[in-house]
Chains A and B, each alone.
Chain A
Amino acid sequence: MSIIVDEGTKLAVSGLTGREGSFHGLRNKAYGTDLVAGVTPGKGGQDVEGTPVFDTIAEAVAEAGANTSMIFVPARFAAAAINEAIDSGVETVIAITEGIPVLDMLSTYWKAKEKGVRLIGPNCPGVLSPGKANVGIIPAQFFDPGPIGVVSKSGTLTYQIGNELKQAGTGNSSIVGIGGDPIVGSDFIDILKLYEADPDTELIVMVGEIGGDAEEQAAEFIASDISKPVVAYIAGFTAPPGKQMGHAGAIISGSSGTAQAKKDALEAKGVRVGESPTETAAIAAEMLRSL
């Protein structure tokens, strides 16, 4: 097994007719993901290399059987596209778009909760279940199937750690990029729950960064609800307060949201925290061998 995306995923890509959307959508298809539809208002009836394009996500659900929506729409229109996806009948919405106004996400977040739709992102690299399906921009070549579930706020940092795990001879059940925005549809806790229930996941690697308190909340949750071993990495120890470090959510506000506070919170609950991506991968590989 794996989580969120697998052989049963039937993907509709909003923005498939755009440059980025077609590049990544077709890459996902080449990996083996069942790409059933593209969605672009006004372009219904066209196709992108054989994949039919619909005007609305609801049509992609009704006519092509889509159950997962990926959003590759420019930031100022993306919240509306996510809202449309939530109403369309898909089970999962994965929003890659970076730069969506956070207050738009506030209402979208609650809308997804209310409708029981799983929202991943925005501002995330997507979800990969090695050997099964890839929805998003994660370069699949660095990840082999295996027993480690990864959940991360960052894209490239995840590729770095995934590659080191691969070199250590292990692999992943799934890799979930939850996104670097202040408000994301799924937090660490939501994904930790899924890994806990996934029989193919034996160990979890969690990659956090400065800003907010999702890591601190995850630390509490790990102590109370997660039986599987968790290894963590936190980026941003050298980040100055008040400065946004690339990701919209990566900002230390006053004295809260620091990397040290997150590391301390995790270690207080018995979670090992690697000093570097390399050490984190090494700890994970070593713990896996002793399981």
Chain B
Amino acid sequence: MDLLEYQGKQLFAKHGIAVPSGEVANTVEDAVAAAEKIGYPCAIKAQVLIGGRGKAGGIKIAQNAEEAREHADAILGMDIVGPHGEGPFRVDQVWVEGGSDIAEEYYASVILDRGEKKLLAMVSAKGGMDIEAVAAEDPDALVKRHIDPSGFDAAAARSIVADAGLAEDALDDAAEVLVKLAEVAREEDATLIEVNPLIATAGREVVALDSKVTIDGNALFRHQDLAEIADTVDDPQEQMAKEKGLTYVKLDGNVGILANGAGLCMSTLDVVAQAGGAPANFLDAGGGSKAEAIVNALEVIKSDAKVSAILFNIFGGITRCDEIANGIVTASQQIDLGMPLVVRLDGTNSEEGLRILAEADLPNLHQEKTMLDAARRVVELAGGAA
């Protein structure tokens, strides 16, 4: 689960890391009121879960109320596309914060290194820009060091920030920030914490001017405050799926997909794409997919107006295909899909499942024997690519 910039900064503040003071606003009026309170210059910053906001015009400095209004009006409601094509993300909130007197811009992060199975601290004196580009151009400019699982103290942190070449009079404060970032990782179950830029002000204070924080969704049971944030999902289908307890990811095609198991589901999206189609979603029905789960899944898929055909790809292991078939029959009595449904059932009790479907003789239901044939058929029925 990713946090918005201001949510990440609130987490930083909780752990004693200096951040500029500010307020969140959902409307232009609120943004102007916040700016008036905070004073000028102030920054109006789009709150979306993606980097590259500045380049996209999502961060502006206001010198007076008029400019605050102008910028908030432009930013609220804009769509921002990420540097790797993510999104678009609609801006519903802005964060208004006091201007900072920036002397230097650094970069600091603590991330989970999956390969090495350790937390990794990274620091650079070249902050405020795309850190991947900095590292590609000048690898020595980014100091990377694993955090000793038995402890991470100020001395270890200081050697990292010193090696990164931060200003001498900022080293102690920067080291303290790094120690606290590691503390945020461990205590808040964050798998990625990035501060870009981490600034040294003219008054020689070290302040986190931005935040990118990812919290482990599996650990939310021990973080009540963060679990509440996780409950707010923007996308209507993703919200509906979440309420129904389904693992769903929205994509932008027209072929609705349901499969059992994350791997098989990803593979199903791939073969649909290979057959020339565009998947509308990822939906893992999980094990033991009973009628109720199938009704729920079909409702979520159908509520996406782009979907024009649906593929059910089931390989029954523990899940029995006869149960799935009964679920499909029940579901089709409860909801009117109004579009073709292609079903591929294989694995445990598949013959019985196929017999149940054949006997039910459901309109608009098409059976295919293999995953590849089913993919081709659903793409054809969906009318090609979206």
Report how far A235 CA is from B271 CA in the complex, Å: 10
Question: B306 near A: Cβ within 8 Å?
Answer: no
Question: A226 near B: Cβ within 8 Å?
Answer: no
Which of A9-17, A31-39, A52-60, A134-142 is found at the contact surface with chain B?
Answer: A134-142
Whole-angstrom distance between the Cβ of A159 and the nearest chain B Cβ:
5
Report how far A75 CA is from B23 CA in the complex, Å: 37
Give the contacts of A144-203 with B (CB-CB under 8 A).
152-160, 163, 180, 182-183
Closest residue on chain B to residue A104 by CB atoms? B219
A157 near B267: Cβ-Cβ < 8 Å? yes
Question: B249 near A: Cβ within 8 Å?
Answer: yes
Question: B189 near A: Cβ within 8 Å?
Answer: yes
Report how far A93 CA is from B118 CA in the complex, Å: 21
Report how far A63 CA is from B141 CA in the complex, Å: 58
Question: A109 near B: Cβ within 8 Å?
Answer: yes
Give the contacts of B176-195 with A (CB-CB under 8 A).
185-186, 189, 191-192
A250 near B117: Cβ-Cβ < 8 Å? no
B274 near A275: Cβ-Cβ < 8 Å? yes
State which of A141, A239, A244, A277 has its C-beta within 8 Å of the C-beta of B371: A277
A interface residues, tally (CB under 8 Å): 63
A157 near B371: Cβ-Cβ < 8 Å? no
Whole-angstrom distance between the Cβ of B125 and the nearest chain A Cβ:
21
Give the contacts of B256-313 with A (CB-CB under 8 A).
259-267, 269-274, 279, 282, 284, 287
Chain B residues lying within 8 Å of A180, measured Cβ to Cβ, are: 262-263
**Scoring A residues 97 to 111 as 1 if CB is less than 8 Å from chain B, else 0, what string do you get?**
001111110110110
A237 near B273: Cβ-Cβ < 8 Å? yes
Chain A residues lying within 8 Å of B261, measured Cβ to Cβ, are: 154-157, 246
Chain A residues lying within 8 Å of B269, measured Cβ to Cβ, are: 236-239
B260 near A141: Cβ-Cβ < 8 Å? no
Question: B347 near A: Cβ within 8 Å?
Answer: yes
**Scoring A residues 207 to 242 as 1 if CB is less than 8 Å from chain B, else 0, what string do you get?**
101111110010000000000000001011111111
Closest residue on chain B to residue A110 by CB atoms? B149
Closest residue on chain A to residue B262 by CB atoms? A246
* A103, A156, A163, A217 interface centre (most CB from chain B within 10 Å): A156
Q: If the complex has contacts A183-B117, A210-B266, are A107 and B317 also in contact, measured as CB distance less than 8 A?
A: no
B117 near A156: Cβ-Cβ < 8 Å? no
B219 near A101: Cβ-Cβ < 8 Å? yes
B191 near A160: Cβ-Cβ < 8 Å? no
**Scoring B residues 113 to 132 as 1 if CB is less than 8 Å from chain A, else 0, what string do you get?**
01101110000000000001
State which of B114, B271, B372 has its C-beta within 8 Å of the C-beta of A249: B114
Give the secondary structure class of B's interface. mixed
State which of B218, B221, B279 has its C-beta within 8 Å of the C-beta of A102: B218
Q: If the complex has contacts A245-B282, A278-B370, are A250 and B347 also in contact, measured as CB distance less than 8 A?
A: no
Question: A115 near B: Cβ within 8 Å?
Answer: no
Question: A243 near B: Cβ within 8 Å?
Answer: yes
B86 near A246: Cβ-Cβ < 8 Å? no
B interface residues, tally (CB under 8 Å): 58
Question: B140 near A: Cβ within 8 Å?
Answer: no
A248 near B266: Cβ-Cβ < 8 Å? no
Q: If the complex has contacts A242-B86, A254-B84, are A153 and B191 also in contact, measured as CB distance less than 8 A?
A: no
Question: B27 near A: Cβ within 8 Å?
Answer: no
Question: B348 near A: Cβ within 8 Å?
Answer: yes
B263 near A158: Cβ-Cβ < 8 Å? yes
Chain B residues lying within 8 Å of A236, measured Cβ to Cβ, are: 266, 269-270
A160 near B251: Cβ-Cβ < 8 Å? no
Question: B216 near A: Cβ within 8 Å?
Answer: yes
A107 near B216: Cβ-Cβ < 8 Å? no
Chain B residues lying within 8 Å of A106, measured Cβ to Cβ, are: 112, 117-119, 149
Closest residue on chain B to residue A239 by CB atoms? B266
Closest residue on chain A to residue B264 by CB atoms? A156
Chain A residues lying within 8 Å of B86, measured Cβ to Cβ, are: 240-242
B263 near A102: Cβ-Cβ < 8 Å? no
A247 near B318: Cβ-Cβ < 8 Å? no
Question: A255 near B: Cβ within 8 Å?
Answer: yes
Closest residue on chain B to residue A111 by CB atoms? B149
Question: B322 near A: Cβ within 8 Å?
Answer: no
* B86, B247, B318 interface centre (most CB from chain A within 10 Å): B318
Chain B residues lying within 8 Å of A214, measured Cβ to Cβ, are: 114-115
Chain A residues lying within 8 Å of B272, measured Cβ to Cβ, are: 238
Chain B residues lying within 8 Å of A43, measured Cβ to Cβ, are: none
- List the 5 closest A-B pairs by CB distance, nearest first: A154-B263, A246-B262, A156-B261, A157-B263, A101-B219
12 contacts across the A-B interface (CB closer than 8 A): A104-B219, A157-B266, A207-B263, A235-B263, A237-B273, A240-B86, A246-B262, A249-B114, A250-B262, A250-B266, A276-B270, A276-B271
